[in-house]
Amino acid sequence: MSKYSDLTGNISIFSESSTLPEGMMLGQRKEFSDGRVFRLAKNGAVALAAGKIVVQDDETANHITLAPAVAAAGDRTLTVTLGATAAVANEYAEGFAVNITTGKIYKIKSHPAAALSTALTLTLYDDIDVAIPITDDIDLVHNPYYGVIISVADQADIVMGVPPIAVTALYYFWLQTRGVAAVLMDETTGRGDTVTTGTGTVGAVEVLDGVAEPIIGHMIEAGVDTKYNAVMLCLE
């Protein structure tokens, strides 16, 4: 394989995996000498198509503002009681436990599955530095590259990148975030136009026309509606 198709661990950008590649973690970054950047991501429950932009998954309403058990300084586990939504084993691995009462944030290493409205014990990467009382509130936040989904046509979500391949549901893959990529067009665009999330077709881009719209990149060729044209991504 050429240096332009291999990434960390010799895993091609044109490959996918049903399991997390050994020695890697979600969000792991790889940059090529030509300026393209990719991040290791996990697809959500729906298959993805190459060249269609994807966004962060939705926050789980019953996994925020959770009551913790008392945790002492020096502990490396944190237990919270879930709301009425179960947690899949390690769905928050490489994500974060955010103490919204104090502003402290801890990266999550692993956790078991937990049924709805039951206790979930999180193993953290770092020791808790300040004791956490039961009166604090904890939000669980997925790693941004966990469970990504195709964009909807409303411009309200955080764009994460563009898959270079079709991706099976729940598989791991390399998601492009920067550099030249082929992206689906939602309208005709001009060379040099700045593009944002399309409002007519899911997974597509259109010309930026508002200050509140997310900037995805810039056209390096004229774009043709419904075709996949070259965009200089600038998502990081």
Catalogue all structural domains in the chain, each as residue range(s) with its CATH number: 8-56+147-234 (no CATH), 61-141 (2.40.30)
CA distance 89 to 44: 15
CB–CB of 119/79 below 8 Å?
yes
pLDDT grade, residue 7 (50/70/90)? very low
Beta strands in the chain (DSSP E): 16-17, 29-31, 37-42, 54-55, 67-68, 77-81, 96-99, 105-110, 119-124, 138-141, 149-150, 159-161, 172-184, 194-197, 205-207, 217-219, 228-234
pLDDT (tens digit, 9 = 90+) per residue, 95-126?
999 999 999 999 999 999 999 999 999 999 99
Residues forming beta bridges with residue 41, ordered by sequence position: 173
Tokens of 133: 């009382």
Question: Nearest 5°: phi and psi at 9?
Answer: 75, 15
138 conformational bin, left if phi > 0, alpha if psi -120 to 50, beta if neither: beta
Q: What is the largest CA-CA distance in the chain?
A: 59
pLDDT (tens digit, 9 = 90+) per residue, 123-154?
999 999 999 999 999 999 999 999 999 998 88
Give pLDDT, residue 187.
96
pLDDT (tens digit, 9 = 90+) per residue, 155-206?
788 999 999 999 999 999 999 999 999 999 999 999 999 999 999 999 999 9
pLDDT (tens digit, 9 = 90+) per residue, 27-78?
999 999 999 999 999 999 999 999 999 999 989 999 999 999 999 999 999 9
Question: Angle at Cα 103 formed by Cα 157 and Cα 66, nearest 5°?
Answer: 70
pTM: 0.90
CA distance 198 to 184: 9
CA dihedral in degrees (75, 81, 82, 84; nearest 10)? Answer: 170
Amino acid letter for position 81:
T
Give pLDDT, residue 10.
58
CA distance 59 to 25: 21
Query: Which of 174, 161, 184, 183 is CA-nearest to residue 234?
Result: 161
